[in-house]
A and B are shown apart, each in its own frame.
Chain A
């Protein structure tokens, strides 16, 4: 039983790869119909998939793959010409294959007979048989098909089959389906079949597939270990008994272990990038634009979970690039640009971060258009919007509900995309950077941590409690005196590098009233009113999406790499705190959720009439 499960998992992993590859080669072939290599590759892949699926007894997958194989057999022999319409069908057929493969896992019911009938019609047309001949003959135009279709074969067909190979059974259908016709021989795919007893050589793959949950669990344990290590080492500093060398070894080994486990979770971005061949193809067909997709830095590695979290965002960004960025062909010609637009997906390492950039060579983002929209939507007053510089106003595309598309299309312009991108990026502690040049194109860069588990943080104390702020959000640490801070309306402000920033006492933020009516009462003035003129204040300047806030804390500690643990129920929805860690001294340290803090400060100011729940609480 366990073996079967293992085979099934292996089959699934491989089948999904086949599905991806097919998408990629279809895209390649659609661009260049004469690409013989792609045709051969598709033929080979469908052949393998058919055989594997048949061996597993997944007839729906096997039959569909078989039909595709036959179609590409015809294409290989130039008996079937490629047309635009055929590609739509091929892509949809591959989608069905994907659904069927997925259904093996989920047990979901997938309708596929209709698609199969359609593929048969394509084949029939290729063979030049009139419809009536074909249907009257009572045979599908695929001569080998009966082999796969076991149970439902008519008696007449069974006779035919026994003549071919008397020992025929469902099990060996995989081999039997190998081309017996006049087709040129293709490389036989090695299938470990129980029948091939003579070949007793067993080969093992050097790669082991591990479920992500197991890795999550492993990482969690290593995290616990690292915390225990910190505790021991802290204690050792106060103990005469301990031999320092022992602790040094323990320290080294646990760190190595921690980094190795993190390393195991890293995957190449190509896992995600390669899916975009198909996505871009679909969007460009819908939009009626010719797009060339370039992938760069596909071997850059990133934590698998982070990649998963941002995958939807990347789709949004690519859609936006195609539908808003890239101009229609005529407009491009007028501007002396190549008629085919280019969308580039790039990954690169930047210090501790992995940067993923989506660029296009389209018209760029017009700041004035954004500004108008910002005013229209009431996100800023006219005066403020006019004062805001271009590169700052552009960031408003990430505000919820913002959409600057002149028209709504099937793929973009619903105005939800960009704030989804922002939220996903926030949730992994990443940042977004937009750069655009009018007429030349735009680049949107996601600065993501390479690994989710370890965070570099700044530790500090407020009201005798230790807190951590991820370094990704800290801009600077400054000292201020009361005289540097001024009351502005119901909030406080100070000047940092000639910029006006809001100032907030962390302890004011953590009062119960703050959540509900931040600007109603004078909560934010509370601590300010109490302090002494000469008291020196420690201020951590945090920045997020070009918004800077100075957080006043009681005492600064030091920087540290921590392993953040998510909060458990029922306190997993606490505002402003994203998780906890345990410090070497055994204390629990709260990790601040800076996006939530900044969003709360700025959104509460805008909607003073109705206390708004934090986004992450919804």
Chain B
């Protein structure tokens, strides 16, 4: 079973993402609401994939990507971003994010991106 960590500061959003992924038989091994927790958790558990919100209370998703890449983390990164943030997405991709989806999204969209990345 592929292991996933969900990073988002909204419990609501995390729940939606978790439910969608769990129903598709993914293993949610952790979740984080702050950048600090996210980085520690990901480096510790080394998941196959992370879903990453960009705006967190203590830092940006971009900072997390940077920190993870500095540590040579190999987890696939799926950025989740609000509409109209193309520059953020571009930066994220150039830093090493693997794909992105734009909020609001359907569970199907999410799963199709995740499936592609973990294929």
Contact = CB atoms under 8 A, between A and B. Distances in A.
Contacts of B72: 152
Given A111-B40, A111-B44, A118-B59, A135 B35 contact: no
Given A132-B88, A152-B72, A113 B43 contact: yes
Given A111-B43, A131-B60, A135-B63, A117 B36 contact: yes
Interface in B60-91: 60, 62-67, 70-72, 87-88, 91
20 contacts: A111-B44, A113-B67, A114-B34, A114-B36, A114-B37, A114-B38, A114-B39, A114-B41, A114-B67, A115-B36, A116-B67, A117-B59, A117-B66, A118-B58, A121-B58, A131-B62, A132-B87, A135-B60, A135-B95, A136-B94
A112 B44 CA distance: 10
A131 B67 contact: no
Contacts, number: 62
A584 to B, nearest CB: 62
A111 B66 CA distance: 17
Contact of B71 (A89, A113, A121): A113
B91 A132 contact: yes
Nearest to A149: B70
Interface in A561-585: none
A603 to B, nearest CB: 46
Contacts of A89: 58
A114 B40 contact: yes
Interface string A110-140: 0111111110110000000001100110000
B35 A136 contact: no
Nearest to B62: A135
Contacts of A131: 60, 62-63
B109 to A, nearest CB: 25
Interface in A82-129: 89, 111-118, 120-121
B62 to A, nearest CB: 5
B84 to A, nearest CB: 14
A121 B65 contact: no
Interface residues of B, number: 27
Given A113-B67, A117-B64, A121-B60, 10 more contacts: A89-B58, A114-B40, A114-B41, A116-B67, A117-B39, A131-B60, A135-B60, A135-B95, A136-B91, A152-B70
B58 A135 contact: no
Interface string B22-37: 0000000000001111
A135 B87 CA distance: 12
A114 B95 contact: no
Chain B, interface SS category: helix
Contacts of A114: 34-41, 67
A115 B88 CA distance: 23
A152 B88 CA distance: 26
B66 A118 contact: no
Contact of B35 (A111, A117, A132, A152): A117
A89 B71 CA distance: 22
A89 B95 CA distance: 26
Interface in A129-160: 131-132, 135-136, 152
Contacts of A112: 40
Interface in B84-117: 87-88, 91, 94-95
Contacts of A117: 35-36, 39, 59, 63-64, 66-67
Contact of B62 (A113, A116, A132): A132
Contacts of B59: 117-118, 121
B103 to A, nearest CB: 19
A118 B37 CA distance: 10
A64 to B, nearest CB: 13
Contacts of B63: 117, 120-121, 131, 135
Contacts of A136: 91, 94-95
Most buried by A among B39, B65, B94: B39
A116 B70 CA distance: 12
A560 B66 CA distance: 70
Contacts of A118: 35-36, 58-59
A31 B60 CA distance: 30
